[in-house]
Amino acid sequence: MSTETHVSAAELRAFLHGLPGVDQVGAEERAARLATRSIKTSAKAQAIDLAISMVDLTTLEGADTPGKVRALCAKGVQPDPGDPDVPRVAAICVYPDMVGVAVEALRGSGVGVASVATAFPSGRAPMEAKLADTRAAVEAGATEIDMVIDRGAFLAGDYLKVYEEIVATKAACGEAHLKVIFETGELVTYDNVRRASWLAMRAGADFIKTSTGKVSPAATLPVTLVMLEAVRDFRAETGRQVGVKPAGGIRTTKDAIKYLVLVNETAGPDWLTPQWFRLGASSLLNDLLMQRRKLATGVYSGPDYFTLD
Ligand SMILES: O=C[C@H](O)COP(=O)(O)O
């Protein structure tokens, strides 16, 4: 099966409801077991740098200003001015009206500009408005678009509407990569997370993303595990690789490393690069920097050492 643009409502429903159900207890136990894995100190240093390179450093506040976005971009390019060996982050994630500021600040840095779009975070707007939102962000220079699905349509069983919105948004993205946000905290069941994953991948998503960061629960290990299984199985079936981005509520190095272990053990090492795995987070980077410095120096610097995210 490949990405199709034409599919009927009945075929899509039959396909999604024909997916094997998720073993809820099994998924939670497996995620909990992987979360207890300890890793060696040398591997921890590598894992911290890998995690930094996978961060989509995010600010999605009504009070965001150009100055705040510029400061965040500077931090993303050079997370620790005292240590040039610290890798840059993968992308800076902002609202569409801040894309131009981020593009200017990041020019030549290799850090991507991701923008939420399609009436983030609710997704409640007419399709024309969502597509205009997407086009505006792309025209301003966004290299990645993080769209939200219409959870109301999904939960009402109108899978075709969600599918068609993803297809149309992907077309509006042009060269920009499309991440599709499910808001898994609103999807209620793991079965729905699996269905949303396959629906988005069939519709052409480049990445599937757990959450907006505006709803609790946001990213969790079991939900991410279900999504990682989906991208693994989708690639086995179609040959096309899709990335995964847990986002929201990931704040500590310990959590980030748990996600990396989960990726390695579920989808496999092919996903352990910023091209295929991201951590969407507004405040994780500082903890990664503090733990990195502690590993290198043996001294815990404390949160005041680094600029605020
Ligand atoms: O996509 C990223 C999220 O919006 C950030 O959520 P967070 O503030 O809980 O890290």
Kindly report the CATH number assigned to the domain that includes residue 123.
3.20.20.70
Examine residue 198 and state whether it is found in any structural domain, yes or no: yes
Q: What pLDDT shows up at residue 1? A: 45
180 close to 152: Cβ distance less than 8 angstroms: no
Q: Name the stretches of the chain with pLDDT < 50.
A: 1-2
Examine residue 10 and state whether it is found in any structural domain, yes or no: no
Q: What pLDDT shows up at residue 184? A: 98
Tell me what ipTM this predicted complex has.
0.95
Q: Which residues line ligand 1 (CB under 6 A)?
A: 58, 60, 93, 212-213, 218, 247-249, 280-283
Range of the domain at 291: 22-305
Q: What pLDDT shows up at residue 41? A: 83
Examine residue 234 and state whether it is found in any structural domain, yes or no: yes
Query: What distance in angstroms lies between residue 57's CA and the mean position of ligand 1's atoms?
Result: 8
Query: What distance in angstroms lies between residue 28's CA and the mean position of ligand 1's atoms?
Result: 22
Give the CA angle between residues 50, 262, 279 to the nearest 5°: 45
The per-residue DSSP string of the chain comes to ----S---HHHHHHHHHTSPPP-HHHHHHHHHHHHT----HHHHHHHHHHHHHHEEEE---TT--HHHHHHHHHHHHSS-TT-TTSPPPSEEEE-GGGHHHHHHHHTTS--EEEEEESSTTTT-S-HHHHHHHHHHHHHTT-SEEEEEP-HHHHHTT-HHHHHHHHHHHHHHHTTSEEEEE--GGGT-SHHHHHHHHHHHHHHT-SEEE---SSSSS---HHHHHHHHHHHHHHHHHHS---EEE-BSS--SHHHHHHHHHHHHHHT-GGG-STTTB-EEESSHHHHHHHHHHHHHHS----GGGSPP-
Examine residue 295 and state whether it is found in any structural domain, yes or no: yes
Domain count, the chain: 1
Choice among 206, 245, 255, 258 that is catalytic: 245
130 assigned to active site? no
Examine residue 9 and state whether it is found in any structural domain, yes or no: no
Examine residue 5 and state whether it is found in any structural domain, yes or no: no
- What is the model's pTM? 0.95
Examine residue 297 and state whether it is found in any structural domain, yes or no: yes
Q: What pLDDT shows up at residue 304? A: 58
Choice among 146, 206, 287, 309 that is catalytic: 146
Kindly report the protein residue whose alpha carbon is nearest to atom 4 of ligand 1.
Answer: 213
Q: What pLDDT shows up at residue 3? A: 52
